[in-house]
Amino acid sequence: MAEDFQAHLDKIGFEKYLKKLKKKVKDKKVIIYGAGAYFQYILEHYDLKSMNIIGISDLKFSSEQEGQEFLGFKIIPKEKIVKYNPDYVLVATLRYMGIIEDFVLNLFDGTKIKTYPLARVPLLQIIKSIWSN
């Protein structure tokens, strides 16, 4: 599984994207959404320390877990993200389009919260994958 994650991250040019993303979110409040194996792999193999990550959110976290720690980050239940007033929510899942769409159209509607994938697949690769199926 780890080799698969690394191959995927290499294929999408993650290191270069991460460098740009770090500049974009510099001195801003960031919440990570997605606490699964993919994010855990990124956390173990890449330096995210320069990002001001104020918490981590995931569907699996309940309101009772709010404030507890997971992977060294404060747990923030999905429905409470807006309360923390982050500047950015970075979606740390392999399939992020539907999540980002839900956040933009529903959860963050009327807020200034920006949502980006933590690891973005370049548009050209998305198009190639559609045509190759």
Where does the pLDDT of residue 90 fall: very low under 50, low under 70, confident under 90, or very high at 90 and above?
Answer: very high
Residue 124 predicted with pLDDT over 80: no
Mean pLDDT for the stretch of residues 4-33: 95
88-91: strand order across its sheet: 53-57, 30-33, 88-91, 114-117
Residue 133 predicted with pLDDT over 70: no
Q: Give the domains, in start order, of the chain with CATH numbers.
A: 2-132 (3.40.50.720)
Residue 107 predicted with pLDDT over 90: yes
The angle, 0 to 180 degrees and rounded to 10, between the axes of the packed helices 2-11 and 14-24 is: 70
Query: Which three-class secondary structure state does DSSP give residue 19?
Result: helix
Q: What is the pLDDT of residue 121?
A: 85
Q: What is the pLDDT of residue 1?
A: 66
Looking at every residue in the chain, the average pLDDT score rounds to 92
